Amino acid sequence: MSGWVRVLDSHELLPGEMRGVWVGETPLVLFNLDGQIHALRDQCTHEDYELSAGSFDPVAGAVECVLHGARFDVRDGRALCAPAYLPVERFEARIEDGGIHVRLP
């Protein structure tokens, strides 16, 4: 599993939940969207603020930054509205062997 890091047990992130984690020096926010795991850098591209402090809308598949209301698609990190215009960095994620794994570059 070169490049893949186990970050949580799969039961620690249920459908509709998000959780911030650190992998080494990299802050990540994980989302369970209908059983599919998505991982973004835990940093709003508008202001240097944690997305994990915001709110996750599992119906829309979006996370909203609590600081100024920028919204991002959790599946691909693209900005959905101002004041953010740049996407958030996305990381591959998967569930395997009872754990949530993220692939770092």
CATH of domain 4-97: 2.102.10.10
- Write the Ramachandran bin of 58: left for phi over 0, alpha for psi from -120 to 50, otherwise beta: alpha
Q: Mind listing the pLDDT tens digit for each residue in 28-83? A: 999 999 999 999 999 999 999 999 999 999 999 999 999 999 999 999 999 999 99
Q: Indicate if the alpha-carbon torsion angle 44, 46, 47, 53 is positive or negative.
A: negative
Res 103 pLDDT > 80: yes
Inform me whether the pLDDT recorded for 2 exceeds 90.
no
Stretch (H or E) spanning 19: strand 18-23
What order of strands is seen across the sheet that includes strand 62-64?
55-57, 62-64, 71-73
